[in-house]
Structure 1
Amino acid sequence: MTRSAAPTQIVFLDRATLPPQTRLRPLPFEHVLHTFERTAPAEVAQRIGDAEIVITNKTPITAAALAAAPRLRMIAVAATGTDNVDLRACAARGVIVSNIRDYAVHTVPEHTFALIFALRRSLLAYREAVRAGRWLESGQFCFFDFPIRNLAGSTLGIVGAGALGRATADMGRALGLRVIFAAHETRKDHESGTGSDDERMPLDALLAHSDIVSLHCPLTPATRHLIDADAFARMARRPLLINTARGGLVDEAALVQALQSGQISGAGFDVVSEEPLPATHPFQALLAHPGFILTPHVAWASDEATQALADQLIDNIASFYAGQPRNSVHPH
């Protein structure tokens, strides 16, 4: 980055998307940081107009917003996903985009398995039944209103062979699961790849053979609605579907139909295509369903992971300022 005598102007558009206890280390250069807790899409252009560096987590940065920011040289995304940034417009302008990598290799797989355990053992359904007085009503030491199944011996199908998919696979193997990966991934997935002994099969075959399907791939034009009505029809073993990646990977109306009709036995989601969940979203019909769990996009948000994210965010900006950009993201 070309340095000037004036302090570097930095704008953080959505600080509220990080927990308040997460600490941002001071940057090692003279700067002025303008922090906004939230920024509406219509406010972006005005707020970044004088910025040289912009920090965003989920606030969209469009080509139109970029056009209003002639001094902008870097967008530091405080997340792994960059689908909220117009990467092509940034590349055309020479704006560097960086993201956060491999910070969630414990928190996301742990959340994934929290959803799996809760659904396979009907934990929430039993908790609600106890609260409703069903245990006393049963007249004995236990009751069997909801299914309980072991994980050991089941097949876990993973879509996405990056760091999170591989960490989820490691956890699955430790619990006695057979792990298979979808073989249709992008070249980047193959390069980051699974181990040579990992079993891979085409997505259609994975859907047919899995007792649990867990999504860990990015949202791209090629993966949007990767799991649709046709995919649900191929799920011969009535699996659980777990999505801690991106909401747009799944046709959400088709998921509602699949769960209500018994094509799948349960679904655990941490993401939806529109966040926060609108009152008109199809998932509203499932919020009381015993086989459905929706958490508010917090799989990534353990205390340890959010601090690691913040530290990497500062490192990305400092490296860019020093003329050595890291974690750069390019258009597909």
Structure 2
Amino acid sequence: MNPKSAIKGRGAQQNTPNRFFELSHEVRNDFLEYCHKEGEKADKNKTLYLPVFPKTIVNKVQSPDVGMAYSMNMYQGCEHGCIYCYARNTHEYWGYSAGLDFERRILVKKDAAKLLEAHLKKKSWKAQTIVMSGNTDCYQPAEKEFEITRQCLQVFLKYKHPVGIITKNALILRDLEVLKALAKDNLVTVNISITSQFEDTRRILEPRTASIKKRLVTVKVLSENNIPVNVMLAPIIPGINNHEILPLAKLVAEHGAQSISHTIVRLNGAIGDIFTDWIYKTMPDKAEKVLHQIADCHGGSLNDSRFGNRMRGEGKIAEQINNLIALAKRKYFANKKMPNLNTTLFEQHKNGQLKLF
């Protein structure tokens, strides 16, 4: 991609049409020419934080592939801009594009902590791990300003309720003291996503995420403070980072990770067009090879929605990737595993009194 023509600091380089809208927005060449002559910018490339007011915050997860029963998201959209992100499609339900809008129109749920507390206090609710960031990263840049994730962690601590966290941002260390308090009663696990060990790869795949060095330090600091860390080598993208599986697994093990997990990239919905546009602009020499290898993992298609297959893929390339992950687990994580979180303390903290029976 020509650096002068690239949209700086963004993954997607376009706004794909919203599948729910009859009309679409197009930036015409004559408009671009007018802006050039007038010395104006056609696109200011600013991030907007837009408040939204949902009635609930905890979601029941229907997919059998993702290893969680309940999730919650403080933000919709994500400024990290990861080009492969499966969550991009959800932005269309809010009336936006899965492309640039997903990275620049961030919906902020300021009442998340109140909604969480109301959910936990329901008479029918029994303690089960709730995962923060089942969809978008709870420690994305917006969290610096709004601190909603921190407020929610304090609610989990107050009620002694188990919580899982998924992030690729070192900002999580800001809340180290709260995490240590949760870990003392075995109430928290953290999943750190690390897709590559090389900054050049990270910058183009995940433009506004924490550096690889910072993420490795995060794994180390959390582990040293007895906070269990799983590293997600996800997604594995054939032709881009599949050759890194063993060295990356070794690296995160040396920094204290207790386990690793992975997925093979799938380009569902609008992400297929967004990723294809991006890779022809950023890696034109690799584009055909990468796209063909991704398709090879999903029965000849970039997309795969089949439960049981969509995360692990099929075919020879997928088999090689899955075998490398299995080897990495045996080699670097033998006799290690993430703990089952404690669900026994919640009831007595839910209403402030112990049960007799």
Query: Do they superpose with TM above 0.5?
Result: no
Q: TM bucket by the smaller chain? A: 0.3 to 0.5
Determine which structure has the larger helix proportion and give its number: 2
* TM-score when normalising by structure 2: 0.33
Looking at CA atoms only, which structure, 1 or 2, has the larger radius of gyration? 1
